[in-house]
Chains A and B, each alone.
Chain A
Amino acid sequence: MIIGSAKESYAADEAIFTTNVQQIWLSLFAALCIAFPLFASDYWLLLACLIAINIVAAVGLMVLTGFTGQVSLGHAAFMGVGAYATAWLAKHGGMPFWLTIPFGGFAAAAIGVVFGIPSLRVKGLYLALTTIAASFILHFVFFNWTNVTGGARGMTVEPAIFFGTQLVTSGSLYWIAVPLAAFATWCATNLFRTRIGRAFIAIRDRDISAEVLGIELFRYKLMSFALASFYAGVAGGVWVYLFRVVTPESFRLIDSIFLLAAIIVGGLGSIRGAIFGAAFMTLVPELLKLGVATLEPHWPSVVQILSPVRTIIFGTLIVGFLMFEPLGLNEIWRRVRRRFALWPFRT
């Protein structure tokens, strides 16, 4: 039984892992991720890729909204910028995926900074509205800048090539998407052990006080927008290699709402919450769908009849979390951990 975690130095206080047990569990999880493609079907590998992409995007949004307190409803549009930039660079620049994806991130970061400027004057719902405007403006650009984006028909991309092998299946892209998600998560976790990360949190908690303490709001807010958009752009870049086509309909306002819901359900203000939220929002609709589909051999019209019910259940689950566990899945995780940490002395 672990009865406490004494910290005797700042380094210990900043440590990501406080016990060896955590490292063992993480190693086991990493081993599971490595073994997963050996036994999982294409469908589950596709879902794993989608979860990884959504984790990258959600972690980015968590940096902006969960840690810096800047609400954004334009995150999917920044994913779109990344996706288009990646597709364009691959198609016209002939660049390999390991360059196009980060450049897609940089393009999204540059655009994100522009749309982050209003955050210096407005916050809360007003900022949410300005980011919605970003979503509409970028959608308009995707549609009408035909020479670059391909207009309504969008752009298609050739498969990513890795050491001469075309990454055409979800199984092959898994080895790009999942390590990238792990790396992105690791970077974000470490970010909050630095001055920059702490400045973000200070701005979220009280921006005026943060400024009094010497944190330059202009710089750090824009930095947060740039970082979040970079993450979104990278996620969009991987997305475009997975689906190999991007159109203006690919990244809509509803997708931004999806990501915002993911970080709220996961638990605001925690990287682990972003991971849980992205996994939950991606997996639960699919699991519900599978549940309905198992009845089909016995009841042929079950899918038509129960599909609307399925969406109601999904909606109810989200509302349920918001009502009964406003701190999100991350808090449930922490409670479970506490229970096991104190077992068998606490029931």
Chain B
Amino acid sequence: MMEEKKMSKRVDRRTILGGLAAGAAVSGFPAPWVKGLRAQEADEIIIANASPLTGVFAFAGIEGSEGGQHFVQWLNERGGIANRKVRLITEDTGYQVTQAVAVFNRIVSQYKVALFLGDSTGFQKTINEELNRRGILLAGASFSSEINDPQKYPLQYMPGPDYSQQVAMLLKHIVATKNGARIAFVHSDTEFGRDPIAKSETLAKSLGLEQVEKIITPPGSFDVSPEVLKLRRAKPDFTIFHGYVMAPIPEFMRQMREARIETQFMGTFYSSDLGILQKMGEVADGYLGVNAYNYVGQDGVTGEAMDYIKKINAGRYRTNSYLQPWTNMALGTEAMRRCLEAGRELTGPNIKAALNTIKDYDTGGVIGTPVSVPGNSTNVGRIYRANLKAGRMEPVSDWIKADA
């Protein structure tokens, strides 16, 4: 009898499975089942952020979502936009286009979204027609050259120069340093990696630079010995990396240094973060990178926004990914303010039109020069040198305005 009682109380596998299934179902119970917007405060302005909080780009997504939250906090402490509070809704995309599209659909079917922050080139291209149809403005983490086109992507913008413009800045810096220099491109075999290459090759030629090698590798690859051998033969004065965040850049640099190849390593936005370069180790010392912003904690950089960022993070290092949504939202909310002051509704086309009126805007120390948004990007960047011994990035150029 006792045994029977014991048995009946035991949690068996069916109970576990039932519990798991019920838990999964209940977690979605308050879901936005039906058509129509969810209740939101009448004057509340909604910004949605579809960010990769899991997956390969989680490091950037988590930084970015924190940057976005801090921006909203900062803005609301200052009265929001024309005394209307801003609310940020963040969702995870796992860096997958299908998930990002689902997040977009879920949020815009629940709320009246004034600005949507996207996470990738793939998502931004996929959702473009839907943005145009619904009249929603999107600011992305992508610096894709293709998206920097107001004709094809009228309701999108990016918080910095596109990849082709970033490489163009590096090429012009090379010309200023050494006329007729020998250059090599090393890029990943991805859409991101290939983005600026064709345009940059043409530009390099027109600037009188000699392209001696072009290496294409999978992203994140480690065995680069055959490629280094090619570079050893080619002897480039400058080696430009693009389409990577980390690997295989450190391996290239280590092997090339060991082979005593005298070349200056350079790279674009995503491989120019101080934290990333520090992880690459001492081989990254002297690396030149393009950034669209000041570095958090950079000497002499001050301003209302940057001081707040330093204060709220209390000495914690913040990456470039933290400043991306901050800049996107700073520009977007400024455009919304202009819209509201002009008595216009907060629709995508209205906000974008107001965004394009932004001229010489002070970002409060986030970008070290006044910025304008004539098309789909801020178009300014700066080249920095990694001084890893001192633990900082030092500017080697002034702020450069990219050619359209």
Contacts and interface: CB of A to CB of B under 8 A. Distances in A.
Given A44-B33, A249-B191, A304-B62, A50 B98 contact: yes
B107 to A, nearest CB: 8
Interface residues of A, number: 53
Q: Please classify the interface of chain A as helix (H, G, I), strand (E, B), loop, or mixed, using the class held by over half of its residues.
A: helix
B92 interface: yes
B190 interface: yes
Interface in B264-278: none
Given A39-B35, A40-B35, A41-B33, A46 B92 contact: no
A290 interface: yes
Contacts of A287: 24-25, 27-28, 31
Interface in A239-258: 243-245, 247-250
Given A41-B36, A156-B125, A303 B25 contact: no
Contact of B90 (A42, A154, A168, A303): A303
Interface residues of B, number: 53
A283 to B, nearest CB: 8
Contact of A46 (B28, B66, B90, B105): B105
B65 interface: yes
Interface string A200-236: 0000000000000000000000000000000000000
A151 interface: yes
Contacts of A39: 33-35
A25 interface: no
A10 interface: no
Contacts of B91: 289, 293, 303
B97 interface: yes
B77 to A, nearest CB: 14
Contact of B53 (A44, A290, A304, A321): A304
B126 interface: yes
A40 B109 CA distance: 10
B102 A288 contact: no
B16 interface: yes
Contacts of A27: none
A308 B66 contact: no
Interface stretch (A90-98, A188-196, A294-302): A294-302
B90 A284 contact: no
A325 B54 contact: no
A173 to B, nearest CB: 12
Interface in A297-337: 300-301, 303-304, 307-308, 310-311, 317, 320-321, 324-325, 332, 335
B194 interface: yes
A320 B17 contact: yes
Given A287-B28, A304-B53, A324 B129 contact: no
Given A46-B101, A317-B20, A304 B66 contact: yes
Contacts of B190: 152, 249
Given A41-B32, A170-B105, A321 B27 contact: no
Contact of B105 (A42, A285, A301, A324): A42
A245 B125 contact: yes
Contact of A151 (B27, B101, B194): B194
Contacts of A247: 122, 125, 191
Given A152-B190, A249-B191, A287-B28, A304 B125 contact: no
A285 B24 CA distance: 9
A172 B254 CA distance: 55
Contacts of A43: 32, 102, 105-106, 109-110
A13 interface: no
B30 A290 contact: yes
Given A42-B109, A293-B91, A324 B16 contact: yes
A338 interface: no
A285 B94 CA distance: 11
A47 interface: yes
B24 A304 contact: no
Interface in B228-242: none
5 contacts: A42-B105, A153-B191, A154-B125, A291-B26, A307-B53
